[in-house]
Structures are given as C-alpha cells and as structure tokens.
Chains A and B, each alone.
Chain A
Amino acid sequence: MSGRGGYLLSKVAWAIVTIFVVVTFNFFLFRVLPGDPAKAGTKDPRLNPASIAALEERFGLDKEVFLELSGGNPFDTQYFAYLGALSRGDFGVSYAFRDRQVIDLLGGALVNTLWLILPSQVLSIGFGVILGLIAAWRRRTAIDVGALSFSLFMWSLPTFFLGIILLFLGANWFGLPTSGRVTVGADYASFWDAAGDIVSHMFLPTLTLTLVLLGEYMLIMRSSVLEVFSEDYILTAKAKGLSTFRIIRDHALRNAMLPLVTLIAINLGFTVSGAIQVESVFSWPGIGSLTVQAVDQRDYPVLQGAFLLIAIAVVLANLVAEMVYSVLDPRVVEA
C-alpha cells in the first residue's frame, strides 16, 4: 500500500510546514506588533544604560531580527536563535516568575489541561454520537426537536457564562469546590480521600466543558447520519432485508463516523477555546489559565510559549485524526 504511505507522508509534511509557519508567525507577532514586548522590559526608566545593555545581551535583543546582512554570520540573529532554542526545548525564562523556565510552567499546565479536556471529550463525543444518531433516526419527532433545541441553546450559551452558573449553583447549593485541581495543603488519609478530592474538583469544570461540547457533537453527528441515511446503499441494505439495527450498525455508523473524525479534529480549536474559558472561571491551573495570567502580567515568554504549545498540540491532533480517517475510509488513498 504505497498509496497510503504517500498519503500519510504528505500529511506529516503538511503538519511540519504548519508548525513552522506557526513558529515564525509567533516570533514576528511578538516583535512586529506595536506593543514591542520583547523590548518592554528594557524600557524601565529606573534602569541605567549599562543594565539595559546587559539585559539586551542576556535576552539576545542586541542582534538583528531576521537576517544579519552587515557581514558576519547571516544566521546569527534573533529569529534563528529562537529556532535553535526551541529545538532544544528552550522556551526562555518567564518574566513574572524570574527564574522559572517557561517549558517547566507549560509542561505542568498542559498536563492539567489534558485532565480537563480528555474526560470532557470522551463524555461529550460518546453522548453526542448517541444523541445525534437517535435524533437523525427519529427525524422531526419530539426527541429530535428536543435534542436540536438543546444543542442550539448550548451553542448560544457562552462557555464562561455556563461555567459561572454551574459554579454559582455548585458552590451555593451542593458545596462543591469551585477552584483549583486539588484542595491546597490538604493532607489525605488514604488514596480514596485523595481521589475523592480530585474528582470533586474536576466535577464542575468537566461538566461545563462536556455540556458545551455535547451540543456541537450532537449536531455534527446528526447531520452526518442524515447524510448517510439518504445514500443509496442504505436503500440497498433495506431491500436486502436487514433489520434497522443492522443497517445502522453495519452500514450507517462507519460512514457517518468519517466526517465526524475530521470535524472533531477541526473542532479541537473550539475545545481549546472552551477549555481556556472553563479554566479561567474555575481557576484550573491549566494552559488557558496560564495564558490569561500571562496576559495580565505581561509575561510575554509564557504567552508566546503557551500559544505555540496549543497550536502544535492542535496540529498534531489533526494529524492523528487524518491517520484514523485513512484507516476508516478505503477511498482516501486515491484522493
């Protein structure tokens, strides 16, 4: 199957190009835009010129931005220094936490964000697929109208607002924890105590993100299934004397899942947007909170690193989705 190999190779190449573009875009965004943040730290009026020079040298700001054209090594510039540092996993040093490496901050935050996103994705995709299937199968019945209204309403509800409502109810009525991932400074008697504490902290943020994503996935699945139900091979399956259950299981589901895989991948951006909002409402120490915090503190290395990490994660997840797709759909190799 050289066709599939070639297909995957082109997808990997495209992912690499995309990441490279993101890196370059990221570099110039933080240097070209009017905020000029890289130099902001050196403009403090309390610093004397010697200190400024020392700071500039330390952060490499004394070099050319893109290409060194006045003799010397043309690649001895900020841009290539940035690329080199990135390739060593060096995202720079945080402005706000002076001695912390950005990569360390990002690593912990990414793990926390995955703790939020993964359960929500699994739950919302699972329920979304089932609800969407039922709604499409029972098109124009009360179930369908109900499911559609629910997802339209969820779609119109800003994630952060849903988070606030659930936080309000959860805190005032159920006494659930509303911030952080664990109780700070808690001393657990047993493993189950610790697990219980983690789950109770996860409950509200996960519920918020799941509800927001659920409507989206339900809509996608519904239209995908409706599309498949209008295909001639469904009529063939019916004429063959297959039961409705077997038509759905053996003929409709796999075809309906195809666009879903792609759309879940495209939707990752939506998921990340949701996670940023949920984290900021529930003070969840993930990459979204870190981003918002970095904005407040003008901590540009962290902001730049967080954005880069999010973008790379999403591009890689898309790549995985395309690989799954190529396994599910035999036609993909020709296309």
Chain B
Amino acid sequence: MTATTQVIPTAPTELPRPRPFSSFLRNRVGVLGLVMIGVAVFVAVFAPLLAPYDPYARTSVTILDIYQPPSAAHPLGTDDGGGDVFSKLLYGARVSLIVGFAAAFISLLIGGAIGLVAGYFGGRLGSLLMRFTDFFLVIPDLALLIVIVAVLRDRSLVNLIFVIGALGWTTTTRLVRSQVLSLRERKFVTRARAVGGGDWYIIRRHILPLALPLMLANTVLVISLAILSESTLSFIGLGDPTVVSWGQMLNFAFERGAVSASAWWALIPPGLAIVWIVLGTTLLGTAMEEAFNPKLRRHYLEADEKAAVADLEPIGVTPAPVAGPDAPILSVRDLTIEFNSPSGPLRAVDGVSFDLRRGETLGLVGESGSGKTTAVMGLLRLLPPGGRVVRGSVLFDGEDLLTLGADQLRALRWSRLSIVFQGAMNALNPVRTVGDQISEALRTHEPFLSKAEVRTRTGELLRRVGIGPRRGSEYPHTFSGGMRQRAMIALALACRPDVIIADEPTTALDVMIQAQILELLEGLANEFGMGIIIVTHDLGVVAQVCDRVVVMYGGQVAEDADVATLYAAPRHPYTQLLLRAFPNVEDVDRTLRSIPGTPPRLDALPAGCRFAPRCPHAFERCAIEVPPPYVQGDASHRAACFLVETHD
C-alpha cells in the first residue's frame, strides 16, 4: 500500500511577521532613548571644546567665587570650590559613559558565559551555577559594592569599573540561560546535533546569533544600572577622587552647604544629568526588548464589549427567521470579522451563515486558519484584541448577540450558551480547585441555590463526566489532560445551556479518550436536547457525532449539508479533496491524498473563489468572481462553487 497518511496540510495562515529592526525604528521611545544617549556621547567626546573652563586646572579662588548663581561667565553658577558647574557637568559625562559601557561589557562577558554554560549543559553544573547566581541576586548590590570598595586601597576608575562589572551580571545570566534553554530544544539545534555538530559549533552558529538581540537589549539596561551604581558610590564618597563625576559633584555640594546656601544650581544640574543618561539607556533598552521579543500579547479584558457592537454594517443576505417553534436556536448570518494589522484590516471570516437547531450537533470543519475558531469566538463576542465583527447577525433564540447590552450578554453567557475551549490545559484557573470553578458558574447564574445544592449539583456534574466528586476539591494540575477536558465539559454543562460550543474538544488527546469524550457529548446532547457546535479539523470526529456539517475555507463557508449527504455526495471540490485526504473504514485500500498547495494568507486573499488556486477544476470565472452558496438538491444543502451553479 502506498498510502500517504498525511492528513490535512496545516500551513497556518499567519499574520505578516513584523521585522524587528523596522519595528524598532517605528518605536519612537527607542529613538528618543538613542538620541538622548547620542547627545551624552557627543558632550563627553567634545567636552574640552565645549567647556568654558578646564575643571582639572588649578586656579586660585576666593570666598567670593563660591556658590555664585548662574551668570554670563558661569552659565550654571559655581560650586563649593568656586569651580564652573557647567564645565564640570560636561566633563562628568565622560566618567558616567566610560563606567557604564565598560562595566556593562564586563557584566555581559561574565553573565553571558555563566548563562550559556548553565543553559546549554544544564544538569548539576547548571543548577550549581544558578544557585551561585541566585546568591548574588539576593545580596543587596549596593551594600556589597560599598563593602568591597571600602576595603580597596586604590579607588581608581578602573578598579571601580571592574567591581561594578563583576557584580552586575546576574540579570544577564538569567536571561541568557532561559534563552538558551528554549533554543536548545528547537528543531534546528537538535538536527545540528544529530548530524554531529560539536557543542561550541552549535553554540556559535545556532544559539548565540538568536540569543544576541535580547542579550544586547539587556546589556543596555545593565549600562543604566552601572551608571547609577557609579554615581551612588561617588555620592557616598567612595568614587575615584581624582576625576570629576556627577555623583561627586552632588556629594561635595550636598556635604558642603549647598542646601543651606540655596545653591540649587550646584545640585540640580548634575542630578538631572544622571537622570538624562539613565533615562536614555532605559528607554533604549526597553524599546529593544520589545522590538526583539515580539510577543503580541492577548489581553482578554481590553475594552471589548463596545467594539463588537459599534458600527456594524448592514448584512448582505436574507435575515434569519426570527421566532416560531421551528426556528433554529442559533442563526448566524453574514458574519464577517476583521483583524487590525500594520498593513490594514485583515478579513479572517467573511460572510459566514449557518443555522443550529435544538438537539442538533453541528460540525464546523476546516484547516488551521480557515477562520472556524475565529467565527465562533466572534459570535460569542470573545475575540482577542484587534479583532472585531464588522458585519452580521447572530440570532440566539430571537435575540441578536452582537447588539445585546453588556449586562444582558453576561446574564446569557454560560447559563444558555457555554463553550469548551481548545486546549483545556490552561482554561482552568490553576490556583482554584476544579469544583470551586464549577460551583462559581452555578452561584453566578443561579444565585437562589443554597450552598448544599451547589455542592450536590457540582458533585453530580463531575460524576456525569466520569470524575469522582471528591476530586472536585483538587487543583487542575493534578488532573490528566483527558480529565481536564472532561472537567471542562462538566463546567460547560453546569447551567444546562441551550447551546454548547466545543472548540477542538478532542485534539491532543489519545484515541481512547477522544472516543469517550465524543460519546459523552453526544449522549448529553440527546438527553438534554442541547444544540452542540463542534469546531474541528478532524473529519473522523464529524462522521462519528455530527448531524450537519459546515465546511469552511479561507474564512468562508464552502459547503453546508447534513452529514450523510456530505459524505455520500460532496459537491464542492474542496470537500471532495478533503474527504480523500482522510482514511475511510469502508474503503481501506483507497489512496489517501493530501491537497497540494497551502491555504491562502489573510493578507493575500484571491480575488475570486478562495480555493481556486488549489482547485483542479478551476476556470477563468473562479479567479474573478466569488461564488455564492448555491442550493443543491434539498434546500438544506449548499455549496459555494460555480461548477454546481443552480438558479432558484
């Protein structure tokens, strides 16, 4: 048998990936930091040309020269020794920058080396090194600095640099180690090791280049810390007495009566100079971290309720039937969802319509990136930030979920419409017991229940899904993956909703558990007369439990039929190819074929039929026009393909 058992190709339709460097330039905060550092460097380099006086020159002063306010001769006045504050300020930049850069470089070398070894080789050596690091992390650095500098005989700038650098490496170590740990397990590294790459070769060629950007960002932040350390030491009187630094200027002014003389000019400028350079490096470092570490964070509580309601375009299809005993419990019409991206809105779901009746199980099928999960999240108004419904109506028992007020929506959620999330691993709160999380749903939506009733109902729910009621007092981390999924189903059932949406309820579970969970869902649907939507990429699951199937491709519905019709007489070429990519129990000798090509990218959708570029039957019209859903045979079967065009 020459079967290629490749299932559906899952090339994800990714959002365009931002390039780190250009996104850094767009980051005004980082540019501001860079400019601030640039100014400081310029001042430090050209101090002798810019300064009106040489702070190192010996001059005779009289009592009248001391603490003179700003004047034409001394733009920032004079200090306790009659020196020109402005000139000293310019020269002070040299010390700060030299100490900052040199000490951070030493820290980078030490921290990088320790982190690399601890992360790459791990084991006993690794944990010993991290203990060592923790030790230095715990001991207050300023106290340690003071003690070490205090016993130094020679407080030269070079010695200070070495001490500051030798104490400032702990954050670098932690960062490098965690970077290396995650890179070590990546495919290209294991592959390089498998073909016999030596450790140092792998580190040099594969690990360092990828860890470097974040290391640099961290080093910029270490520079700001080193500058702060030097100025603090100088302020305490432990700096290099032979050079002019900002900390020393503050030390002398503060110790020698600038406060009582109200000589603010001797105090404020050096302090602000430190703020300037530390702020500059901090801004730059933070911006670099953000640019090189582009975790586009989800934020489930960001201003959401309004966004979904505002500015809905009128729907472009026949509205759903409103009431009546035969009306579907859930009618979705023309649901269209867009995501913001740097290059404009991306349409992830486009004009999706389907119905769900009471007691019916509907399969929403498609490859990764077909928009099936986005569609259900959109109809529940649970889209991540950046996503919004731009058009459509979602009638749930006669009420439009998309225009419902926030309070009404909250009352309806879970009590009548609940969801089993994809990957129940993280869908349960780790610091609250499983039973507590189930009873929370009951307490919220059925506040008249007594404590005892809540407890009994919670126990019953757990028993229903095959979990001993006692285990309700345990935390999610003690549950296996399958048990968590079942606990999640128990949670979804808690208030006996009219509709349950299950997003990939069986992915990542082994076959036995899969079968159990599907049976459970099916049984419960029949028993309580609930409508169920199962979102899946697995046609086997659909065949096992669904009554109807909606096949999605590229954010649109390709075909919509009852399950028997769909498997027996698929009309859309995509459905046909999809079925051939799946093993069939009745026809084991059939060759499985994967569908050539990849699903369309959201930022480059075809103008006509979304499937046309991969379709073996495509003709000219497919590339120009989007096919509407054509009714096939009986009225409940529709396919969006010009090959099966019908006229009402």
Contacts and interface: CB of A to CB of B under 8 A. Distances in A.
Interface of A: 14, 18, 21-22, 29-30, 33-35, 37, 137, 139, 152-153, 155-161, 164-165, 167-168, 171-172, 178, 226, 229-244, 246-248, 250-252, 254-255, 258, 266, 268-270, 272-273, 276-277, 280-281, 291-292, 294-296, 300, 303-304, 306-307, 310-311, 314-315, 318, 328-331, 334
Nearest to B280: A156
A334 to B, nearest CB: 7
A314 B250 contact: no
18 contacts: A22-B139, A35-B153, A153-B279, A158-B275, A168-B264, A172-B259, A232-B421, A239-B418, A239-B421, A241-B413, A246-B444, A276-B236, A291-B146, A292-B236, A296-B237, A303-B150, A310-B140, A314-B139
Contacts of A178: 259
B475 interface: yes
B428 A236 contact: yes
A291 B236 CA distance: 10
A160 B151 contact: no
Nearest to A223: B297
A18 B135 contact: yes
Interface in B252-268: 254, 259, 262, 264, 267-268
A65 to B, nearest CB: 16
Interface centre among B297, B411, B491 (most CB of A within 10 A): B297
A273 B148 CA distance: 15
A35 B271 CA distance: 32
Contacts of A331: 430-431, 475, 477
B283 A152 contact: yes
Contacts of B297: 226, 230
Interface in B295-318: 297-302
Contacts of B232: 158-160, 273, 277
B445 interface: yes
A240 B495 CA distance: 10
Given A34-B152, A158-B235, A172 B262 contact: yes
Given A244-B301, A276-B143, A315-B138, 14 more contacts: A18-B138, A29-B147, A159-B232, A160-B250, A230-B300, A232-B423, A235-B382, A235-B427, A236-B421, A238-B301, A238-B382, A243-B410, A266-B138, A277-B236
Nearest to A313: B140
A14 B131 CA distance: 9
A161 B272 CA distance: 9
B146 A292 contact: yes
B114 to A, nearest CB: 17
A116 to B, nearest CB: 15
Contact of B426 (A231, A240, A242, A330): A231
A239 B380 contact: yes
Nearest to A230: B298
B575 interface: no
A304 B302 CA distance: 52
B142 interface: yes
Nearest to A235: B300
Contact of B301 (A37, A153, A229, A306): A229
A252 B429 CA distance: 9
B279 A156 contact: yes
A330 to B, nearest CB: 4
A29 B151 contact: yes
A248 B300 CA distance: 11
Contacts of B426: 231-233
Contacts of A310: 140, 143
B13 to A, nearest CB: 21
B146 A255 contact: no
Contact of B224 (A156, A247, A258): A156
Contacts of A252: 301
Contacts of A152: 279, 282-283, 286
A49 to B, nearest CB: 25
Given A33-B148, A307-B147, A331-B477, A168 B267 contact: yes
Contacts of A172: 259, 262
Contacts of A161: 250, 271, 274-275
B274 A158 contact: yes
Contacts of A21: 135
A302 B475 CA distance: 50
Nearest to A246: B444
Interface in B131-170: 131, 135, 137-144, 146-148, 150-154
Interface in B377-392: 380, 382
Nearest to A247: B301
B412 interface: yes
B550 interface: no
Contact of B412 (A241, A307, A330): A241
A158 B231 contact: yes
B267 A238 contact: no
Chain B interface size range = 35 or more
A34 B153 contact: yes
Contact of A158 (B238, B271, B423, B477): B271
Nearest to B139: A311
B143 A307 contact: yes
Given A156-B279, A277-B232, A296-B237, A164 B250 contact: yes
A171 B260 CA distance: 9
Given A152-B282, A239-B413, A33 B300 contact: no
B393 interface: no
Interface in B225-241: 228, 231-232, 235-238
Given A240-B440, A276-B146, A307-B143, A233 B283 contact: no
Nearest to B268: A165
A244 B409 CA distance: 13
Contacts of A311: 138-140, 143
Contacts of A258: 431
Contacts of A239: 380, 382, 413-414, 418-419, 421
Contacts of A250: 432, 440
A14 B440 CA distance: 39
Given A153-B275, A250-B440, A234 B237 contact: no
Contacts of B142: 269, 272-273, 276-277
B441 interface: yes
Contacts of B236: 276-277, 280, 292, 295
Closest 4 CB pairs of A and B: A241-B413, A273-B142, A269-B140, A161-B271
B421 A165 contact: no
A294 B445 CA distance: 66
Residue of A14, A168, A328 most packed against chain B (CB within 10 A)? A168
B415 interface: yes
Contact of B148 (A29, A156, A269, A329): A29
Contact of B299 (A139, A254, A280, A318): A139
A288 B267 CA distance: 22
B259 A164 contact: yes
B183 interface: no
A109 B365 CA distance: 71
B300 A238 contact: yes
Contact of A35 (B152, B428, B441): B152
Nearest to B431: A254
A237 B437 CA distance: 9
B415 A241 contact: yes
B418 A156 contact: no
B254 A139 contact: no
A254 B430 CA distance: 10
Contacts of A238: 300-301, 382, 413
A165 B271 contact: yes
B278 interface: yes
Given A161-B274, A164-B250, A328-B431, A295 B301 contact: no
Contacts of B150: 35, 294-295, 303
A251 B429 contact: yes
Contacts of A300: 151
A247 B143 CA distance: 42
Given A164-B254, A315-B138, A37 B151 contact: yes
